[in-house]
Amino acid sequence: MLRSSLISAGVALVLFVTISYVPAGAQAHNQPEYARSAHAYRTPAVSLIDAREHTVDFAAAVAQEEMVIISLAFTSCTGTCPVITANLVQALPELKRIGNRYRIFLVSLDPEHDTPARLREYQARFNTGEKITLLTGSRTAIHDLLRAYNAIYPGGNKMNHQPLTLIRAGKNAPWIRLEGLVSGSDLAREVRLAIEQAGAISTIY
Amino acid sequence: MFKYCAHIQIKCLTALFAGLLLQFSLPVQAFPQGDAAKGKKLYEQGVGHNGEPVYAVGQNGLTFQGEDATCLRCHRRSGFGGSEGGYYVPPIAAGFVYRPSRRDRNDRFRAAFLEAQNIQHWVRVRMPRARPAYTTATLAEALREGRNPSGTEFDQLMPRYRLDDRDVANLAAYLATLSKAASPGVDDHFLHIATVVSHGVEPGARDSMLASMQAYVKWYNERLYSDIAHESSARAYGMDVRSSTRLWKLHVWELDGRQEKWRDQLALYQRQQPVFAVVNGMVNGSWAPVADFCDEMELPCLFPLTELPQRERESGGYNFYYTRGLELEADILGVYLKNMRNRPERVIQLHDTSRYGVEPASRLAGQLAARLPEIRIRTIAFDTPQELEMLLRGLGERNEPDVGIVIWGEPDSDSILKALLHSGVKDSPVFVPAHVIRKRMTRNNGDLLSPLLGNLHITWPFSLPQAYQADAFRVRGWMRSRGLPINHEQVQLLSHYGMNVLRDSTRHLFEHYYRDYLVERIEHEVESSQHPGIYPSFSLGPEQRVMSKGGYVLTPDATGENAFNVAADWIVP
């Protein structure tokens, strides 16, 4: 009870910090390239499959990491997804420097087409490396996951999906939600900021 | 500099005028003569004139090369662009880049209202980006610097290309041809469509399909007249409904003789009256000859009712299918056997010598060899129903529980089921494709199938038989009110669905009747289309051609209220 109200106080604080914060990437263009907000999502208890055809208990996999980044894509998406994926790959060296134990989950929006074999091809094509886990699963599992993160695309059509990146900087930190294309360096910066803010919350406890 | 042209008209005119003067006064940069074929190669494959992959820099220094840098990726094969991920990719076909951008009202109407999109997209579509027609020089600037001819900087999604003058000239030449000549099959009044039927298909099913399609065309054309009379919402947008709508004309292409002769027959039909698309259709045996023709002619062929699509290619091309047919069922069975608790040690496959027998049998043999090498598999061909009965009796006498029996053969004949019922096979698990039992799925078959209870397994690439489908209910009502008896429900519902998809996707074309664009619209829209629930769900994506990707395994049940148990939940092999 007390704990949960502390968490929401923390979330409120983060929201406060967030509102006054304008991503630096925004300055170069007339419109911000992505929008930022903070949320308290409950990690969905879904069972997914990775590129090696191993079953992944998603909630456990998330709980196990200190820091988690989630993004969404599908292998036949040609416009934005290659950019989304390349951005994640671009952020890897910087994330390594930050040093926290972390994992990136890149979840397929097209699970029935994106078989583990197709995920493997995609991994090779974009050189996603060790730290990015590609996930697929049943249609319902993926749907449950999307719902948990308020990421159901408009019109029930994955072609209308929007680029989305979620960061959870520490085990008790809120989820930072970035909507829009986020470059590798912006992502690293957001991660640093999220870690600072998570630190601010833990001092409330 | 001219960023706000559209808002401040007078200033804009002066600016444009100044721009014109500037253009004349500067020495004209001489571009080499462009080669459209090489431009196409760059556009579609990301290969420059020197044979090297092209190179581009995107958002925040991301670099793209070769096949990751093709224009096709975003602007699509047709050059009509589209929307994905909430980003609007503008059309760059000949009719757009070489004309001043006028923010065409029809296109705006389409982009704004016919798609469920987020705000960002909507704002972008309404944001006027007036600009003069491109020249090779301004195209070079757009590609290299990311700026349009009136100086507006592009969104970061459009990469900045490192292209030399020759590559730019080649692209310019290709864009000048892209979606320029109207696709065949459309004239000022009619959109011609065809369906394909061959000899040897079940006459009742064929007639039901044709009658459903004809009723649809009649309904569509009547509605078109009344829509033109009440074009209120469209008129508010100044949209010219008349310029973009066509009456439909349906042609039935009948094929006969050996499959090797079909190509010539199809070509003759297409010469006599070209069509814009082929919809539905059923043939005896493999659909491959029709599919090859459609790819050769770049003619969209939508949703044939076939169990033998026999796709050559993994993706792309002009043929769309509901499923991979019997190949899918063989794959589902492969996965099912792999996960089965009391998996048989040996598998005996019996198949007739038609394509319906040979193809899935060799597919399953291949799958098992690759994934389950510990299972021994024997494949035996039979020529007649009597031979099958004999083979099954022999197996029935031995009745070994560790031997799995798989049977493949021609659809819509009861001979496989009859032979099974008389075989005495009780303990060996038996596996058959859906068509062996499909017609008996709705009634309670406890009595009929009782000799097989407990050991018969059916691969089932459809929705569960008991699933209620609201849209099917609606379509049945539609048929009844047009005096069409429902006697081949699945065929009729799917034929109706095929026509619906054609209607919805041509509606998005407006006056741009290009086949590649149609293909892209279908890829985009199928997932949100209303469908009659024969299959649980449909989805496609760029270059995807198969809409439903999995299936169940069912076993008959005499006691339960559903007549069938689900032995394996939806498998996507």
Q: pLDDT, tens digit, for every residue of B272-285? A: 999 999 999 999 99
Instruction: State which residue of chain A sits closest to B73, comparing Cα positions.
Output: A78
pLDDT of residue B156: 83
Q: Which residue of B3, B59, B522, B525 to mutate against A (max A Cβ within 10 Å)?
A: B59
Helices and strands: H and E segment counts in chain B: 21, 17
Residue A47 in contact with partner chain B when CB distance is under 8 A: no
**Whole-angstrom distance, CA of residue A103 vs CA of residue A65:** 7
Residue A77 in contact with partner chain B when CB distance is under 8 A: yes
pLDDT of residue B287: 97
Residue B45 in contact with partner chain A when CB distance is under 8 A: no
**Whole-angstrom distance, CA of residue B50 vs CA of residue A132:** 36
Verify whether the Cβ–Cβ distance B73 to A158 is below 8 Å.
no
**pLDDT average, residue stretch B73-99:** 89
| Percent of residues, chain B, with pLDDT higher than 90 | 66
Confidence grade of residue A6 (pLDDT, cut at 50, 70, 90): very low
Give the three-class secondary structure for B381. Answer: strand
**pLDDT average, residue stretch A174-193:** 94
pLDDT beyond 60 at B238:
no
pLDDT of residue B83: 78
**Range with the poorest average pLDDT among A37-51, A121-135, A166-180, B59-73:** B59-73
B338 to chain A: which residues are within 8 Å by CB?
Answer: none
pLDDT beyond 70 at B233:
no
pLDDT beyond 70 at A33:
yes
What element of type H or E holds A4?
Answer: helix A2-19
List of residues 6+ apart from B192 with CB closer than 8 A: B185, B186, B248, B249, B251, B273, B274, B275, B276
**pLDDT average, residue stretch A182-196:** 93
- pLDDT for B395-411, tens place per residue? 999 989 899 999 999 98
B522 to chain A: which residues are within 8 Å by CB?
Answer: none
pLDDT of residue A12: 44
Residue B315 in contact with partner chain A when CB distance is under 8 A: yes
Structure-block tokens of residue B23? 């253009």
The alpha carbon of residue B559 and the mean position of all alpha carbons in its chain are separated, in whole angstroms, by: 40
Structure-block tokens of residue A74? 């599908």
Longest Cα–Cα distance of chain A, Å, equals: 48
Residue tagged 């792309």 (tokens): B316
**pLDDT average, residue stretch A112-116:** 97
pLDDT of residue B107: 58
Residue A54 in contact with partner chain B when CB distance is under 8 A: no
Burial B16-49 (b: 16+ CB within 10 A, else e): beebeeeeeeeeeeebeebbbebbbbbbeebbbb
Greater model confidence, B565 or B560: B565
Residue B53 in contact with partner chain A when CB distance is under 8 A: no
**Residue in B58, B87, B537 closest to A139 by CB:** B537
Torsion-angle region of residue B281: left (phi > 0), alpha (psi -120 to 50) or beta? left
Verify whether the Cβ–Cβ distance B541 to A76 is below 8 Å.
yes
**pLDDT average, residue stretch B385-396:** 94
Confidence grade of residue B40 (pLDDT, cut at 50, 70, 90): very high
- pLDDT for B474-516, tens place per residue? 999 999 999 999 999 999 999 999 999 999 999 888 788 999 9
Structure-block tokens of residue A105? 């989950």
A80 to chain B: which residues are within 8 Å by CB?
Answer: 84-87, 157
Residue B544 in contact with partner chain A when CB distance is under 8 A: yes
Residue B340 in contact with partner chain A when CB distance is under 8 A: no
Please state the domain extents for chain B: 2-175, 190-321+470-528, 326-460+552-571
CATH 3.40.50.300 fits A34-204, yes or no: no
Verify whether the Cβ–Cβ distance B157 to A158 is below 8 Å.
no
A157 to chain B: which residues are within 8 Å by CB?
Answer: 116, 524-525, 527-528
| Percent of residues, chain B, with pLDDT higher than 70 | 84
B86 to chain A: which residues are within 8 Å by CB?
Answer: 80, 160-163
pLDDT beyond 60 at B426:
yes
**pLDDT average, residue stretch A66-77:** 96
pLDDT beyond 70 at A30:
no
Verify whether the Cβ–Cβ distance A163 to B85 is below 8 Å.
yes
Residue A29 in contact with partner chain B when CB distance is under 8 A: yes
Q: How far is B117 from chain A (nearest CA, A)?
A: 6
Q: Which residue of A48, A160, A190 to mutate against B (max B Cβ within 10 Å)?
A: A160
pLDDT beyond 90 at B547:
yes
Confidence grade of residue B121 (pLDDT, cut at 50, 70, 90): low
Q: Which residue of B43, B60, B571 to mutate against A (max A Cβ within 10 Å)?
A: B60
Verify whether the Cβ–Cβ distance A110 to B62 is below 8 Å.
no
Q: How far is CA B220 from CA A203, B401, B471, B502, in A?
A: 67, 56, 18, 11
Instruction: State which residue of chain A sits closest to B88, comparing Cα positions.
Output: A79
- pLDDT for B244-255, tens place per residue? 688 999 999 999
**pLDDT average, residue stretch A185-190:** 94
Greater model confidence, B114 or B33: B33
Verify whether the Cβ–Cβ distance A82 to B68 is below 8 Å.
yes
What element of type H or E holds B89?
Answer: strand B87-89
Residue A157 in contact with partner chain B when CB distance is under 8 A: yes
Instruction: State which residue of chain A sits closest to B159, comparing Cα positions.
Output: A83
Helices and strands: H and E segment counts in chain A: 6, 8
Q: How far is B157 from chain A (nearest CA, A)?
A: 8
- pLDDT for B303-345, tens place per residue? 999 999 988 788 899 999 999 999 999 999 999 999 998 899 9
Q: Are strands A47-50 and A55-57 parallel, antiparallel or unpaired?
A: antiparallel
Please state the domain extents for chain A: 1-31, 34-204
List of residues 6+ apart from B115 with CB closer than 8 A: A155, A160, B83, B121
Greater model confidence, B449 or B344: B344
Continuous H helices in B248-354: 262-272, 288-297, 326-339
pLDDT beyond 90 at B381:
yes
A87 to chain B: which residues are within 8 Å by CB?
Answer: 59-60, 62
pLDDT of residue B197: 98
Confidence grade of residue B441 (pLDDT, cut at 50, 70, 90): low
pLDDT of residue B290: 97
Burial B367-396 (b: 16+ CB within 10 A, else e): bbeeebeebebebeebeebeebbebbeebb
Confidence grade of residue B240 (pLDDT, cut at 50, 70, 90): low
Decide which of 3.40.50.1100, 3.40.50.2300, 3.40.50.1580, 3.20.20.70 is the CATH code for B190-321+470-528. Answer: 3.40.50.2300
On average, the pLDDT of chain B sits at: 86
pLDDT beyond 80 at B212:
yes
Verify whether the Cβ–Cβ distance A77 to B118 is below 8 Å.
no
pLDDT of residue A18: 41
Residue A160 in contact with partner chain B when CB distance is under 8 A: yes
CATH 3.20.20.70 fits B326-460+552-571, yes or no: no
What are A133's strand-pairing partners?
A105
**Range with the poorest average pLDDT among A149-158, A173-182, B518-527:** A149-158
Pseudo-torsion of CA B279, B282, B285, B291, nearest 10°? -10
**Whole-angstrom distance, CA of residue A51 vs CA of residue A121:** 9
Greater model confidence, B186 or B229: B186
**Whole-angstrom distance, CA of residue B563 vs CA of residue B569:** 16
Q: Which of B273, B275, B307, B274 is nearest to B288 (CA)?
A: B307
Instruction: State which residue of chain B sits closest to A35, comparing Cα positions.
Output: B120
pLDDT of residue A188: 95
| DSSP of B218-255 | HHHHHHHHHHHHT-HHHHHTT--HHHH--EEEEEEEEE
**Residue in A33, A77, A181 closest to B542 by CB:** A77
CA angle B279, B435, B383 (to 5 degrees): 110
Structure-block tokens of residue A103? 């994992």
pLDDT beyond 50 at A27:
no
Residue B87 in contact with partner chain A when CB distance is under 8 A: yes
B156 to chain A: which residues are within 8 Å by CB?
Answer: 29, 33, 181
Confidence grade of residue B454 (pLDDT, cut at 50, 70, 90): confident
Q: What is the pTM of this model?
A: 0.89
**Range with the poorest average pLDDT among A113-127, B83-97, B535-549:** B83-97
Greater model confidence, B440 or A18: B440
Residue B85 in contact with partner chain A when CB distance is under 8 A: yes
Give the three-class secondary structure for B406. Answer: strand
pLDDT of residue B206: 97
**Range with the poorest average pLDDT among B38-42, B87-91, B188-192, B330-334:** B87-91
B84 to chain A: which residues are within 8 Å by CB?
Answer: 77-80, 159
pLDDT beyond 50 at B232:
yes
- pLDDT for A92-105, tens place per residue? 999 999 988 899 99
